Structures are given as C-alpha cells and as structure tokens.
Structure 1
Amino acid sequence: MKEYARCLLAIVAAAFLGSANAQEMEKMWGDQVVKLRAENADRGQLFDEGNYAMFIHWGLYSLLGNEVDGKTYYGIGEWIMNPRMAGIPIDDYKQLAGKFNPTQFDAKEIARIAKDAGMKYIVITAKHHDGFAMYESKANDFNIVDATPWKKDPMKELAAACREAGLGFGFYYSHNQDWTFPGGGNGPTEDENGDPATFDDYFEKKCLPQVNEITTEYGPIELVWFDTPGKMPKHYVEQLVDLVHKNQPRALVSGRAGHDLGDYQTLGDMEVPRHNIEGMWESVDTTNDSWAYAWYDEYWKSPKEILHRLIACVGRGGTYMLNIGPQGDGAVPARATKTLTDAGDWIYRYPQVVYNTDASPWQHALPWGDVTRKDNTLFLCVFDWPTSGKLHLPNLKTSIKSAQLLGSDQPESLKWSREVDWTVINVPPSAPEKLVSVIQIELESEPEVDPVWAIDPEHATEVLAEFAEVDNAEKSPKRWMEKFGEWKGIVHAHGFEKGGAASWDVDVHKPGEYNVALTYSGTGRLVWEVSVDGGEKIQNQQNSSHNYQSFPIGWIHFPEPGRYKVSVRCVDGDIKSSSLKAIEFEPIE
C-alpha cells in the first residue's frame, strides 16, 4: 500500500463525504485523494490502484450497428463481418470506409464522461479483428485517415484529451486476427496477386509496424491490450511485448498477449469473479450486452449494477474495465453516459472505497453486499439494507475501534456488539444512500476473518457450488453464450454418481426455519436431496431449466447457532444432466 494514497482520506473524508458533488470533490481534494493523475503515476499504478477504467470498442463496424442489408444480427457488433455473423466479403466491407464520417466524435466529451464516471484511464480499439486502423497508419492504408472522408486521427485527439483530464491512455490491438490483410489470423490466405500469404507476411508488414506506431506516436501510454492470441507462436508475442516495453517502459501489456507474457491476468469477457484472486488482474465488461454499438441493444447496466460489479472486482482484489460502444457517427449513447456518470457521482463521494484498496478478508461477497479494505480499515458496502436495524458481520476475529455510517456531513457513530463469532452493528432503519450505503470500520489491528460461508439471519444467503467440496461428483467452470459474444459463466457441480454430493460448511447465527432453494439446470424433472449432517433431510422433485433457474426444495431447521455441514445430492431423474450452481437459505419470519 503506497503511503501517498493515504494522504488526507482519514482526516478529510468524514467532514466532506456527504455534501460534495464530483466537481467540488475534485476542487477540494485534487490530486491528494489518491494521486492518480496519469502524469504522476508510477508504472502500473493506474491499473493496480485506480481499479476502474474505460474500454472503448469503436470502428468501421460501428457504422453498421449490427444491421446489414436490412437484417439485424444479434450479438457483439465488432464481429459483424465474420462468417459467424453477417459474413461480409472483404471488398464489400472495405467499401464501408467511404461512408464512415464520424462528425459527432468528441474526444474531450469522452474524456469528461470517463472522468465523471470515476475511471482512471481509457483503452480504445486501435485495430480490431477487421483490420481497420482507427488512427493514421503509415504501415497500411486501410485506416481512418486514408480510407474515409473524415480524414482525421481520433486517437491523436483522445490521447490529448486524456492528458488534459489527467487520465491514462492506452490501445487495444488485435495482434493475431486480421480478417482483411493477407496472412492475418482468419484472414485471406493469398495476397492481391494470388500468391500464398503467410502469417509472417502479416506480422512483418502490418502487425509489428502498427504496434510500433501506436507505441511511439501518441505520447505516454498506460497499456497495450492485445487480444485473442489463438495459436500464435510464442516468438511473435515475445517480439510485440519487447517492443511495447522498449517504446513505452511505463506501459503494461494485457494478459491476452498469450503464452503468459502479459504483465497481468485478464479474465474472460464479462467475467466478475466470486472468490479472491491473487496478483494483478482485471475483469472486462460492457455497459450493455454488445461491445461495439448495436442499434437494438438498450439493455444498460444500472448505476447500482455497475457499482455492484465494480466493488465485486475491487473486493476480490482486481481492476474493472467497463466498455462503451460509440455510434458510427462517434457519439456516445446518452443512456450509457447517464448510467456511468450516476455511478461516478457515488464514487466521488466515496473514493476511499474504490481506489488503492485491497481485497475483502472474507474472500467473497456477503449476503447484504461486499467489503473492501485499506490497511486496518474496512468499508462495508451495503447494497441490501437490513430493515431490522442490525447488520450482521460473521467471523470477524479482530477487535473493532470504531464504526461509522458515512454519507452525511457528520458521519454517524454506530454501536456494535459481539454475539459469539458474529459482530452485530446497530444501524438506522433506513439506508442513507439510494445506491450503496457505506459503513467504515476501524480495527485494532489487521483483519483476521474466518471466510466460511455464514447464513444471514435477515437476508437470503446464496452459497455457490464454486465453494463446495464434492464427493463422487465433479466441479468445473462452465461458460456459454446467450447471444453471439454475450458470455455467461459459472463454476458448477455436476457428474453426480450414486451417493455423490456437493457439501459446504456454513455458520448459522439465528436458529430456526430456513427455506432452501437450489439453482440448477438439467433435463426433465429431477429429484434433489438436501441434508444436514446430524440433522434433517429434505427431498423434492422439480422441473429443470436450461438457464439455471432457482427452484424451492423445502424448509430445513437449524436447532441452535453454530457450524453445520450441508450436502446436496441429485437422487433421481436424468442425474447425468444435473448441473448445480448454488444453494440458497432464506430465513422464515
């Protein structure tokens, strides 16, 4: 934890947290909040401590918006040319450049949106898989300056706007795939003369020179985000990584460079982890369902959902990079702007929750929200406020010095009590924040927590199969697409043999009745059994679903406070098809 990031937070936060808007906060605290203006940051600091960034997918494909010849293609727009989408021939696709005239592009406006959203740097597509360069490239004339009527280099403008705003700047570059250049990955196999083209041709004539361009002609950059390395041989990736580090010693290289040569780990698209991950890593996500602009896609993440996913990533120890897809004319969709800046207003009120923080000592989310940590300070981010006036914090073994409810000019001191292995914090009956309320806990020493799952006495508690021990069953990741490129993923328990089970140790604070539900998929009607070691066993038949619905199994009784082992088995039906995502316990009032 760097010393300068602690400056003023402990003293000033309490006095100003509730009353300042984003502009006032910037004026009052300036760089001293986290000292994360790009020009002052060390190598990787914006990534490691900023924890929040903007991704931008914008290119020739944005002009189509997923509609070709009057037909809409549903899925991620930057793949529209590909045979798995519209299958546009190369010559036809290249002709689109003559219609690309993004007169509504405003680099300063995009930088303002990112800054008001609380983001610390911007990464934008310099060249996606379609091979079209969104900057002036001397290596290849299929670029926005040479091939369009607009004749401008938006990357020059955006790099300058980011520097002016104190934001970092970086490039996405598809280093393996190039669908329009001979020899590029999944591209033409012959050149314009009909001669065979190799990957060497693409790499030497286009890829390497363009990566040299984006790392030498746009000033200091924070990051080069390579993507989809596929089976690209290691020596090519080594050359690119060495070139980036030579030209931009401060820049990081994304984990998708390939062959473990990146500077950090990149998770799967739209993947927000459920357990803490060691080291430097990022999650990449998008404000709606498509990365590039799609005319029909109005399924925007709300400000609360953005904060939920951001805090989940920070609470697991990582960075969250959230994408926007400008339209073909360069304008950012208004709803994307609003949801980002509304979430940003909250971040400007609670910067200490997001920036330069460590992972939650619980190692997973809690039923009412999540936790981030800075040294001996915990920030309890309460998404679901307890109406009982009591917030339950399980298995915190470290003594508490103070507890404060943030969100007003004068933070409210809270009382707490110790009830066996649970800390119970007395809170007001209503939440002070519409989006996420924050309780700041000061500890006597470093937090010591038993991360076992605990059943909250007020909120429904979902315990994922990811955290189960399995016996005569399997546990593995599973990813699928709802639409093309719209990834979903879980870790599921499956392959149940006779007597096979998924089991969890859970702590119970309040004895009594709990309704148990299972989230699963499978074929036909399945019979599931839920049992407590030394206690009750319940069993029920429910229909299956393909997309992991939650089905009730029945009530189960925990006779006294303490730790229990709960097991789930699929005991009848098409057991081989059964796939368990989670078990949920809801207290019966």
Structure 2
Amino acid sequence: MMKTLAVFLSVAVLTGSLHAEEMDAMWGATTVKLRAEDAQRGELFDEGNYAMFIHWGLYSQLGNQVNGKTYYGIGEWIMDPKMAGIPVEEYKQLAATFNPTEFDAKAIVKLAKDAGMKYIVITAKHHDGFAMYDSAACDFNIVDSTPWKIDPMKELSSACREAGLGFGFYYSHSQDWTFPGGRKGPEVDAEGKPATFEDYFTKKCVPQVEELTTQYGPIELIWFDTPGGMPKECVQQLVDIVRKNQPRALVSGRAGHDLGDYQTLGDMEVPHHNVEGMWESVDTTNDSWAYAWYDERWKTPREILRRLITCVGRGGTYMLNIGPSGTGAVPQRAAYALSEAGKWIHRYPQVVYGTDASPWEHALPWGDVTIKGNRLFLSVFDWPESGKLYLPGLKTRIESASLLEGDAARPVVHTTQDGWSVFELPATAPEKLVSVIEVKLEGEPEVDPTFGLNPNTATEILAEFSTATGAKIVKHRWMEKFGEWVCEYPARGWRPDAKVVWEVDVLTPGDYDVGLTYAGEGRLVWAVDVVGGEHIQNQQNSSHNYQEFSIGWIHFPQPGRYQVAVTCLEGNLESASLKSIRFERVH
C-alpha cells in the first residue's frame, strides 16, 4: 500500500484528548485526498481500501423465483441450466415488465459514502447479456427494452461525481447468454446462420466497452469477469480501449491472461495470510450477489468490519456487494449493516485508509493489526476479560500506547515479558463493535510473526501456516449453494508417516486443551505431539464439512518456543482434511 499519509499522520499525538474539530481537520485531508477528482491512477483502490459492488439486472426482478419455484444460489445465474434453465427468448420477455421506479442513485451513493466506501462498481452487463444502460450496440438494454426508459448508469455516475466518490463498471466480456456467439450464448443468429465468438466480440463487446469508457465521465475501474476461452489478443484489445479512453482507470485481474492491473481473489475469499502486490477481495452482504427474495443471512456490522480489517491487514482492498431488488430498492437490512459499520469507520478512519499490511502477516486471537509508518492500530474484536491484552513478537520498542474513543484517547500502561507486549486495559470495551489501541513505536515495526499461544483466550492456527511432510497444503474450494463459495487451505493427502508441524511461542506454561478442525469420512485417529515432549491421541468422528473435535490436554512445561506436530494415525486417511489446530489454556 502507498504510504503518502504516514508522515502527516505521525505528527498527531494521541496520548491525550483531541477535540472533534482537530480530528476532522486531520482526517479531512485524507477524505479530500481520496476524492475521485483528486486521486491519481489507482489511488482510491490502493489507499481507500473499501468499495461498493452492485449486482443489479433483469435477474433481480425474479429474485430467484421462477414459475412459483425458488432456486437457491446466486441470483444473477438464474438462467443457467443448474438453476432455472430459462430459455433465451423467455428471459428476454422479462424486460417488458422491468420497471424499477424505486431506484435512487443519490440514495445509493449516500449509503456508500456513509458506509465509508470510496468508489462504486456496478454491473453494466452481466452474463445474461442485458445492458443496464443505453447501449447502441444492442437493443436488449434498459432504455430500449423496458417501460422505465431511463439510463441508471448516467444517474449513478453523476451522483458519484457530486459526492466525490469514484465510479466504475462491471462487464462480462466473454460470457453472453443471449447474444449469438457469446460464450454459452446462442450458436446461431436471428437468421439461423452459425454465429462465432468473433461475431459477438466485434458487434457487441468492443462497441459496448467503447460506450462505457466514453459516455459516463471519469471511470476509476473496469471490472471484467470470467474470461475463460477468450483469446489473449481480444483481452488486450479491450484493455487498450480502456487505456485510450480512461487512462486513470484500473482494469481488474479477471480480464484474463495477466493483463489486469491487480489480482482479484476468488468470490467471497478473505485471505488468512498477507498477499503481495495490489489485490482485492470481493464479497457480498448476504449469500447471493444479486437479489434473492429468501436470502436474509446478512453480515452484521461487526462481521463486515472484521472482514474489511482482515483484508486491509493482509495488504488488500475489500469490495462489498449489495443486490437491489427488481424495483431498484436496496434491502433495508443490508443498508443498516453497512451504515452501522460506516459509523465506526468514520470514527476510526486511520485504521482503514492509507494503511499497510500487518507485519504479523496473520490475524491475532483477539483481532488484527494495520499500520501507518511507526504506528500500529490494534483492532480488538474480542475484549479480554482479564484486562490484559497480549501481543507476541514485537521487537521494536514502544514509545506510547493509547486506547482510542472516537476523538479522545487515554494512555495505556504496557510492559514487556519474554518477548511479549502486555497492555493493561479497563474491564469494559469502549466500543460496541471494535475497540482500537494505537501503539506508537520508536521506529518502523520489526516483528517475529511466530504464532503465540494467548494466555487468556483460545488461539487457532490454520494448517496453511504449518510445515507439511507427507501431506500437502491445498486450496479446497466448494459451494454451499450454487455459486456461493467457501475457501480453505487444509492439509490433505495424508499418509501414515505424514505430519504437519507448527512453531508456537508459549508465554504462560501449563496445560492447554487442544482441538482439531477437520473433515473426512468415518472415524479418524489423530495424534498431537509437543516435539520432544508430551504425546496425546484420540479417535473422533468426522464430518463432511469442517468441524472442531477435542483431542485432549497437552502440557508445555515452561515459557519458550515449541514445535507441535499433528499426524493422522488410523481411519480413512485419504479423506482426512485438517483445517486448523486450537489451543486454549486450562491452568
């Protein structure tokens, strides 16, 4: 991440109280700097760290219900044979009744701004081929085909400019299910002649990308998607169009062939370890990207903040989606969660904007860390009842520590013990959602990222942070419902002699309860060893999904570094998939 704000921020002394006006003045520079009209190429992405995604189209009118039947999964794929399998001509007829009179561009932009987001990206054309703007390249668009006759993209781009937010488009550049020649689209044209991908690309895709990059003012980002099967020269041509018409705009990594400006992780994937370079995580406020009538599984304000700060702490950007209904209205509960999380962000903008990744390279048992120069921001999600917060591995000397309460701060007593920093905290957390401790260091942070076993709360360590022998750390990605992805990096492919090993730092010796989270078939026997010390093993049942099972207590006789090894001894070893180990001090 860029560090252009670090020098300015480091002059603010937060060991005493600050007035709201002083805070506003200090962070006002950040807000102005990150306005779209002032930003350099990619600055809103790289320093803003938080954006709104919008999935909205004809599919929103169906809301995952077709002919009285509900289909469970992501709504924008409702045409797909694995969902409702709607024929092209039948789907096109939906446009005649699409009349989203509750769409309010200014209200959506206000929601994004209140939420603390720095730019908006909306679906101009998804895989269904329907253009949500006035397109001359195809009459299957919101102005020519619907009774509404309005171009919402003009309204939204204008509202973003007025509010100082960036604006961008999602565009499905390879898939088009309703235009002849588009991937997964009709194989013949209106006259019954065979259609090729070149027909689609030259007649629709290229002209529409030209339209989107020339008719809506400054664009921050073009978010291409699903390039599978698209020749590299075609992707390059689209990127060249963006570069020519919008030289300040970024191109998403999903353009294909490594021609994008940054990496986009898998849908709904929030990484556990730091990721190098510029990247983003794309997520949604419930389960479906597009509106689904039944989907009320909303992320809470606290969960939104946890996933946002995790992404920022791993060095990336978080783009969070809303799915307006067919009427154009934003679901009220999504708006509530975003607004409540936004109130916290506006109180603590220094935690989110213009920050660098955590030098620990992973989350900590109580929360996460972001940094600016020589300042650490500890975001505490799980407040310690003992009144002591433990931070392992910090080598740089602490100059001061403060517990922030909006525009005020109070000093925090801190000590060092066996390489751990210990902060004395009040019994009650000052913030309902996330409390923040600012730590000012004497220099740039130097950290040993070894996992420390927290003395007063459970410490979970993922398999992806282990060293595996005879087993492999692999990406395990699956769908809970159609298109709703879950991603883990477990240890799999176990042999009788296989093991995974973690190094841990123990501050407080004693007995620790050990649990393993894993999936598999039938009963499995797992062993846990302190290398050179105690051995325990136990048989427990498996689950098709990842579930934690207790293995037993294990002893660490004194403070210091230990290696802990896990092996799978008996059962269906080929099915065993170990996600993590958990330690919780007993006494």
Runs of 4+ in 1 over 6 A off after TM superposition: 12-20, 24-28
Counterpart of 2:84 in structure 1 is 86
Counterpart of 1:477 in structure 2 is 475
* 1:11 Cα offset (Å): 2.8
Counterpart of 1:492 in structure 2 is 490
Structure 1 stretch displaced more, 27-36 or 424-433 = 27-36
Q: Could you say what secondary structure the match of 1:110 adopts?
A: helix
Is structure 2 residue 425 aligned with structure 1 residue 424? Answer: no
Whole-angstrom distance in 2 between the partners of 1:576 and 1:464: 20
Give the TM-score normalised by the residue count of structure 1: 0.97
The letter of the residue matching 1:485 is G
Is structure 2 residue 137 aligned with structure 1 residue 139? Answer: yes
Counterpart of 1:11 in structure 2 is 12
Whole-angstrom distance in 1 between the partners of 2:570 and 2:19: 55
Q: Deviations over 1:125-176 (max 9, x none)?
A: 0000000000000010000000000000000000000001110000000000
Q: Could you say what secondary structure the match of 2:37 adopts?
A: helix
Question: Alpha carbons of 1:2 and 1:502: their partners in 2 closer, same or farther (altered >3 Å)?
Answer: closer
- 1:415, 1:425 within 8 Å by CA — same for their partners in 2? yes
* 1:7 Cα offset (Å): 3.7
Match of 1:526 among 520, 524, 527: 524
Q: Could you say what secondary structure the match of 1:535 adopts?
A: coil
* 1:555 Cα offset (Å): 0.4
Match of 1:197 among 189, 195, 198: 195
Q: Deviations over 1:91-124 (max 9, x none)?
A: 0000000000000000000000000000000000
Matches within 5 A, 1:319-334: 319-334=317-332
Question: Alpha carbons of 1:6 and 1:167: their partners in 2 closer, same or farther (altered >3 Å)?
Answer: farther
- 2:15, 2:411 within 8 Å by CA — same for their partners in 1? no
Counterpart of 1:76 in structure 2 is 74
- 1:265, 1:281 within 8 Å by CA — same for their partners in 2? yes
Whole-angstrom distance in 2 between the partners of 1:503 and 1:408: 42
Whole-angstrom distance in 2 between the partners of 1:34 and 1:563: 47
- 1:176, 1:228 within 8 Å by CA — same for their partners in 2? yes
Matches within 5 A, 1:354-503: 354-407=352-405, 409-503=407-501
Counterpart of 1:171 in structure 2 is 169
* 1:402 Cα offset (Å): 0.5
For these two proteins, the number of residue pairs brought into alignment is: 586
Q: Deviations over 1:265-307 (max 9, x none)?
A: 0000000000001100000000000000000000000000000
Question: Alpha carbons of 1:16 and 1:105: their partners in 2 closer, same or farther (altered >3 Å)?
Answer: farther
Identity %: 69
Q: Deviations over 1:489-544 (max 9, x none)?
A: 10010111122101101111100111000000000011100011111111111110
Q: Deviations over 1:235-284 (max 9, x none)?
A: 10000001101100000000000000000000000000000011000000
Question: Alpha carbons of 1:44 and 1:382: their partners in 2 closer, same or farther (altered >3 Å)?
Answer: same
Question: Alpha carbons of 1:2 and 1:571: their partners in 2 closer, same or farther (altered >3 Å)?
Answer: closer
Whole-angstrom distance in 2 between the partners of 1:282 and 1:415: 36
The letter of the residue matching 1:90 is V
Q: Could you say what secondary structure the match of 2:299 adopts?
A: coil
Whole-angstrom distance in 1 between the partners of 2:368 and 2:75: 33
- 1:8, 1:33 within 8 Å by CA — same for their partners in 2? no
Question: Alpha carbons of 1:369 and 1:431: their partners in 2 closer, same or farther (altered >3 Å)?
Answer: same
Whole-angstrom distance in 1 between the partners of 2:10 and 2:330: 33
* 1:410 Cα offset (Å): 3.2
- 2:15, 2:402 within 8 Å by CA — same for their partners in 1? no
Whole-angstrom distance in 2 between the partners of 1:54 and 1:517: 37
Matches within 5 A, 1:571-582: 571-582=569-580
Q: Could you say what secondary structure the match of 1:136 adopts?
A: coil
Question: Alpha carbons of 1:573 and 1:209: their partners in 2 closer, same or farther (altered >3 Å)?
Answer: same
Whole-angstrom distance in 2 between the partners of 1:66 and 1:17: 50
Question: Alpha carbons of 1:265 and 1:173: their partners in 2 closer, same or farther (altered >3 Å)?
Answer: same
- 2:74, 2:290 within 8 Å by CA — same for their partners in 1? yes
Matches within 5 A, 1:29-40: 29-33=27-31, 35-40=33-38
Whole-angstrom distance in 2 between the partners of 1:34 and 1:314: 20
Counterpart of 1:288 in structure 2 is 286
* 1:15 Cα offset (Å): 7.4
Question: Alpha carbons of 1:13 and 1:47: their partners in 2 closer, same or farther (altered >3 Å)?
Answer: farther
Counterpart of 2:224 in structure 1 is 226
Question: Alpha carbons of 1:68 and 1:408: their partners in 2 closer, same or farther (altered >3 Å)?
Answer: closer
Q: Deviations over 1:387-442 (max 9, x none)?
A: 11111110100001100000155311011111111111111111111110000000
Whole-angstrom distance in 2 between the partners of 1:160 and 1:13: 38
* 1:4 Cα offset (Å): 4.9
Is structure 2 residue 46 aligned with structure 1 residue 59? Answer: no
Whole-angstrom distance in 2 between the partners of 1:450 and 1:236: 46
Question: Alpha carbons of 1:54 and 1:297: their partners in 2 closer, same or farther (altered >3 Å)?
Answer: same
Question: Alpha carbons of 1:13 and 1:354: their partners in 2 closer, same or farther (altered >3 Å)?
Answer: farther
* 1:18 Cα offset (Å): 9.1
Counterpart of 1:509 in structure 2 is 507
Whole-angstrom distance in 1 between the partners of 2:197 and 2:40: 36
RMSD between aligned alpha carbons?
1.6
Match of 1:541 among 539, 561, 577: 539
Question: Alpha carbons of 1:27 and 1:87: their partners in 2 closer, same or farther (altered >3 Å)?
Answer: farther
* 1:581 Cα offset (Å): 0.2
Q: Deviations over 1:59-91 (max 9, x none)?
A: 000000000000000000000011111000000
Question: Alpha carbons of 1:409 and 1:78: their partners in 2 closer, same or farther (altered >3 Å)?
Answer: closer
Whole-angstrom distance in 1 between the partners of 2:140 and 2:18: 50
Question: Alpha carbons of 1:328 and 1:26: their partners in 2 closer, same or farther (altered >3 Å)?
Answer: farther
The letter of the residue matching 1:287 is T
